[in-house]
Amino acid sequence: MKRTIIIACAGAMAVSGSVHASESDTLKLHEVTVYGTPKAPVELTPLSVSIIDANQIEKSTESNILPVLANHVPGFFVTERGILGFGVSGGAAGGVSIRGVGGGNKVLFMIDGQPQWASIFGHALPDTYTSGDVAKVEVVRGPSSMLYGSNAMGGSVNIITKHATQQGFNGSARLMWGSYGTQKYGVNLGYSNSKLNAFVSATYESTDGHRKNSRTWLASQFGQLRYKFSDHWNAGANITMTETKPHNPGSIDDPLIDMWTRVVRGTASVYVNNNYDVSSGQVQFYTNWGNHEVNDGYSAIPGGPTNGGKPRNYIFHSKDFNTGLNVYQNIHPWAANTTSVGIDFQHWGGKTWNIKNNGENEPGVNKHVNEIAGYLMMQQGFIDEKLSVNAGLRLQHSSQFGNVLVPQAGFIARLFAGNTFKFSWGKGFRSPNLRELYMYPPHNPDLKPEYLWNYEIEWRQLLLDGRLDAGLSLFYIDGKDMIQTVKEKNPYTGGQMMNKNIGDFRNKGFEIDAAYHINDQWSVNANYGYIWSSDNVLYTPKNKLFGEVSYHPGNWQFSLESSSVWSMRTGGPETESYSLLNGRVAYKWNFSGRYSATFFCKVDNITATKYETIYGFPMPRATAMAGIDLKF
């Protein structure tokens, strides 16, 4: 099956001798729009922002948005361990870093402005970021804690969900099959009239995995309802449910048996928006929750390092929650001025326990934290808005650590036609999570937030009547009070290890990106990022390069892309460097007006390169997928 699909895809790509994308598919990294739930319009902030729209995501045929972001966003990297699924607990992948800041808990992920993270361990939830219900993704490359608070220390990713875009009923479906028994299915349905907008989607995917004991499955459902009361007021509600069970095969030095996690996640929100000429804003109530079961498995080698090669006598369980209220208003009190003011409240926490094989319940931690914050941001334009000055301040209070002040300032200069120059300075922070505060022998309930100071400039230029867009960003990051585990007498546990705020780091580097729409058939885009770090952090490439060539003759679509990583620490004795080549081909058949069917196939890692992003977890060699997209 795998060989057949690879040969078929390679043959189809050879038909053109080259490579895909229509004008609407062209990636525009410089594009600035309003956040999906806009605490402040992006064009008012001097931050580096990358936007990936639905066309780019659909063209990739990826079922998860993280690989798409890793390719198309400079300075963005994500760890992987297989053809499908990231997992949680030991050996998990899906750790995201932006400009070397990340590690799974320092980049904030949001769905329509709602923070998404596991409250006990503080990490993001990579398996839940499915692409079927995504309209676009907005990535802030740098701290955005002034707007969003904790966990947006290194940056933020806001996933904007889809809604019905046509009057009446419409929908789409995707079916995919490929290497290692991988199957992916998805369907979207929408309805819209002058007042009501409804959208639902469902996804199911599974794989046998490219290694023994690496099978995975995932099911996700999403629903959204919006109602327009008038030209000035609208309201809506949405809900997402995801269930997944990935198996972890362990490292090649210590292969595991029966290491699995069963994760059930849900998120829901209701909101009311107002929109007037002089003011606009939102009130949003949200809640998200998760139930996790974890079997940490045992070594396949008798007497091996994981539990002595013997099955565990318990299953770990956890329940976590994050409930909050966001209120903000953007006001235009005088010419060229926008003032944003808001209040955020969060109540988060969870509990853990073990259930032993004999049915005994062994309780663990059961804690919660309350946080409330207020922020004010002002943007003022000068000289016909050729110069815009921005400043903001957030005051956040936590029931665990007290107060933290988060300033941000900068400016945007438009020196001449097609040119933008930005400078920004700001603070990012991350609150300690329940694991660091209360779980396991090193815990320390007196921990304070980690924080960093970020300085950056960005230069962008449009040329050739806007068909060429190029940019250069330079940044310097100074991190303080990083939480590390040190050998020291712990007064809370009596042990010899303790979590403390003692770490620091400095990252500096630059990013270059360019997109060129040559004509209606040809387009190219590329980006490169360089990072130097004082701390030799894991999973952060010193050099990362991506390039894509697209060709779109008529109903055919061809694309060829290459990504390269040099000098990345993965946890092993040597750094990792590799280059990957991926190809995709598609044919779109239009029939009966708006109905269409697109047949596609793709081959990833065409050259069968041997590589790892996590030490001991080799990625698959060449893999292939084929499928069909239906729109109706």
Q: Tens digit of pLDDT for each residue in 45-88?
A: 899 999 999 999 999 999 999 999 999 999 999 999 999 999 88
Phi-psi region of 493 (alpha: psi -120 to 50; beta: other; left: phi over 0): alpha
CA distance 205 to 178: 11
Confidence band of 454 (pLDDT split at 50, 70, 90): very high
Find the DSSP H helices in 333-451: 434-438
Per the CB < 8 A criterion, the answer to whether 39 and 374 are in contact is no
State what percent of residues in the chain have pLDDT above 90: 89
Confidence band of 592 (pLDDT split at 50, 70, 90): confident
DSSP 219-254: EEEEEEEEEE-SSSEEEEEEEEEEEEEEB--B-SSS
Find the DSSP H helices in 174-308: none
Q: Can you name the residues that pair with 595 across neighbouring β-strands?
A: 591
Spell 211-233 as b/e; 16+ CB within 10 A means b: bebbbbbbbbbbbbbbebeeeee
Query: What contacts 35, CB < 8 A, 6 or more positions away?
Result: 41, 42, 113, 138, 158, 160
* Residue among 283, 390, 297, 362 at smallest CA distance from 326: 283
* Residue among 263, 192, 185 at smallest CA distance from 224: 192
pLDDT, position 31: 39
pLDDT, position 41: 63
For residue 150, the one-letter residue type is: S
CA distance 26 to 601: 20
Confidence band of 165 (pLDDT split at 50, 70, 90): confident
- CA distance readout (Å), 329 to 271, 275, 340, 372, 376: 13, 10, 6, 17, 10
Which helix or strand (DSSP H or E) is residue 269 part of? strand 256-275
Per the CB < 8 A criterion, the answer to whether 471 and 432 are in contact is no
pLDDT, position 156: 96
Residue 42 has pLDDT above 90, yes or no: no
Report the 10 Å Cβ neighbour count for 552. 23
* Residue among 289, 292, 349, 350 at smallest CA distance from 317: 292
Residue 601 has pLDDT above 80, yes or no: yes
Assigned token pair, 312: 């565990």
Q: Report CA 491 to chain centroid distance, whole Å.
A: 38
CA distance 37 to 283: 10
Residue 406 has pLDDT above 70, yes or no: yes
CA distance 211 to 91: 14
pLDDT, position 10: 44
Confidence band of 38 (pLDDT split at 50, 70, 90): low
Interval 269-326: pLDDT, tens: 999 999 999 999 999 999 999 999 999 999 999 999 999 999 999 999 999 999 999 9
pLDDT, position 591: 87
Find the DSSP H helices in 40-131: 54-60, 65-72
- CA distance readout (Å), 233 to 236, 278, 279: 11, 14, 12
* Residue among 362, 247, 253 at smallest CA distance from 297: 247
pLDDT, position 188: 97
CA distance 127 to 482: 27
Q: Can you name the residues that pair with 267 across neighbouring β-strands?
A: 240, 288
CA angle 241, 246, 248 (to 5 degrees): 155
Query: What average pLDDT does this structure show over 565-586?
Result: 97
Confidence band of 13 (pLDDT split at 50, 70, 90): very low
DSSP state of 270: E
Residue 449 has pLDDT above 80, yes or no: yes
**Mean pLDDT across the chain, nearest whole number?**
92
CATH number, domain 2-631: 2.40.170.20
Residue 328 has pLDDT above 70, yes or no: yes
Query: What average pLDDT does this structure show over 602-607?
Result: 98
Confidence band of 44 (pLDDT split at 50, 70, 90): low
Residue 330 has pLDDT above 50, yes or no: yes
Query: What contacts 360, CB < 8 A, 6 or more positions away?
Result: none
Confidence band of 40 (pLDDT split at 50, 70, 90): low
pLDDT, position 104: 80
Q: Kindly list the domain boundaries of the chain, sorted by start residue.
A: 2-631
CA-based diameter of the chain, in Å? 75
pLDDT, position 195: 96
pLDDT, position 72: 97
Please state whether the predicted TM-score (pTM) of the whole model is above 0.75: yes
Interval 169-215: pLDDT, tens: 999 999 999 999 999 999 999 999 999 999 999 999 999 999 999 99
Assigned token pair, 444: 């320390």
DSSP state of 539: T
pLDDT, position 152: 96
Question: E-strand spans in 300-415?
Answer: 314-331, 337-356, 361-382, 387-398, 402-413
Residue 536 has pLDDT above 90, yes or no: no
Least confident of 259-268, 521-530, 587-596: 587-596
Confidence band of 385 (pLDDT split at 50, 70, 90): confident
Assigned token pair, 575: 């750094």
Query: What average pLDDT does this structure show over 214-218?
Result: 97
DSSP state of 91: T
Counts for the chain of helices (H) and strands (E), in that order: 5, 29
Phi, psi of 207 (to 5 degrees): -155, 150
Residue 9 has pLDDT above 70, yes or no: no
CA angle 463, 469, 473 (to 5 degrees): 120
Phi, psi of 226 (to 5 degrees): -130, 145
- CA distance readout (Å), 451 to 151, 420, 446: 10, 29, 16
